[in-house]
Structure 1
Amino acid sequence: MISRDDFVARFGGVFEHSPFIAERAYDAGKIAEPLTSGGVHSALATIFRDASADERLGVLRAHPDLAGRLAIAGELTENSRKEQAGAGLDRLTPAEHARFTELNTAYVAKFGFPFIIAVKGLGKDDILTAFKTRIDNDRDAEFATATTQVEKIALLRLQSMLPET
């Protein structure tokens, strides 16, 4: 059986900057070998859903703005950097970057957490369309959407790390 320290070291960043999720999943006995993307995701997502609203908000707030200041400064986690680059967010024109900055600022002001979307398979236009649509949501609806997107991001990350079954 994988040790707690090894499990947390390997999977503690699947939910952005939130190793408590991997720690709690391990401590609750929810981790079974062989490790699969679906099995680990199920365990981690259960812990995430069972976390307090404040803890889930903390996970949302741990995510970087899309094409934001951390990306410009080269300070994204490796996962976030690859994900944003895959969607072309590292190659925005100045006008596109200004639009992302404007939307990021308005979104955070309205909801209190950054816009979160699983960008794999999406391009910048898809992301902007989702941004423009979701900014009109109420806070409860957007909190639910953002937490669903966080779980999707976690699954995609796990699928790149582990076999499916």
Structure 2
Amino acid sequence: MNLAEINDMDEAAFVTAVGGAYEHSPWVAKGTWAKRPFASPEDLHNAFMSVIHAATPETQLALIRAHPDLAGKAAIARELTTESTFEQASAGLDRLSPEEFARFHALNTAYRERFGIPFIICVRLNTKDSILFEFERRLARDADTERMEALKQIGEISRLRLKDLDIA
């Protein structure tokens, strides 16, 4: 896919082509479509992020909450998106020992109880051990800091997902 093709797409085709960069949140792609034309893949990603940052706090929370827990129920039931399945596998989260799985479950639960959102981290830029370290470190933060961190991590996740589309 190239930028000329993306810039010429109607809204439905655009959402289908690049909307998967944002977990179960086609509104991000719909809002970004109106910002065409894009001068570069970076410009496309920046447009996506501007739509997210312009959204209401409630809409941002919905985006954050659309993400699955790491090594959680959706992963076990094989209900993750293709992108999330690949990403979690890249950090070995699909091959946890029973002890590791229990630790992830406990941390997911503690994080959700504290912040009301799933723990979000760009797993492709981390290892299982660094994810666990970040879980522990970030549990000590305040809710506003974590909401902003979640959006930052979603930005990293989407940047890599868009890069996977090999847009030139």
Pairwise same-fold verdict (TM > 0.5): yes
In structure 2, what is the equivalent of residue 16 of structure 1? 23
AA aligned opposite 1:21: V
Normalised by the length of structure 1, the TM-score is 0.94
Q: CA shift at 1:5, angstroms?
A: 1.1
Structure 1: gaps spanning 5 or more residues: none
1:83–1:119 Cα contact (<8 Å) kept:
yes
Give the distance between the partners of 2:36 and 2:19, measured in 1 at CA: 13
Gaps of at least 5 residues in structure 2 are 1-7
**SS of residue matched to 1:103:** helix
Local SS of the residue matching 1:92: coil
Identify the residue that residue 31 of structure 1 maps to in structure 2.
36
Contact 2:67 / 2:118 at 8 angstroms: preserved in 1? Answer: yes
> Is 1:123 the counterpart of 2:134 in the alignment?
no
Distance 1:58 1:12 in 2: 16
**Structure 2 CA distance for aligned equivalents of residues 72 and 65 of structure 1:** 11
Q: Structure 2 matches for 1:76-155, cutoff 5 A?
A: 76-155=80-159
CA distance in 1, matches of 2:18, 2:49: 12
User: What corresponds to 2:161 in structure 1?
Assistant: 157
User: Which letter does structure 2 place at the counterpart of 1:44?
Assistant: F
Greater alpha carbon shift after TM alignment, 51-60 vs 118-127? 118-127
- Taking the aligned partners of 1:9 and 1:107, their CA distance within structure 2 comes to 32
CA distance in 1, matches of 2:70, 2:126: 13
The alpha carbon displacement at 1:121 in A equals 3.2
Cα pair distance change 1:37/1:162, threshold 3 Å: farther
Match 1:60 to one of 59, 64, 89: 64
Q: Contact 1:21–1:44 at 8 Å: present in 2 too? A: yes
Q: Distance in 2 between matches of 1:37 and 1:80?
A: 21
Matched to 1:66, the amino acid is L
Instruction: Report the AA paired with residue 5 of structure 1.
Output: A
| 8 Å Cα contact 1:37/1:161 also seen in 2 | no
Q: Which has the higher helix share?
A: 2
Q: Following TM superposition, by how much is the alpha carbon of 1:33 offset from its aligned partner in structure 2, in angstroms?
A: 5.1
What is the RMSD of the two structures over their aligned residues, measured on CA atoms? Answer: 1.2
Alignment partners' CA distance in 2, 1:151 and 1:137: 20
Q: Distance in 2 between matches of 1:33 and 1:100?
A: 39
Alignment match, 1:2 = 9
Moved runs in structure 1, 4+ residues, more than 4 A?
A: none
Residues 22-68 of structure 1 deviation map (CA, whole Å, 9 limit, x = unaligned): 111113xx12256x431221111100000000000000000000000
Aligned residue identity for 2:70 = L
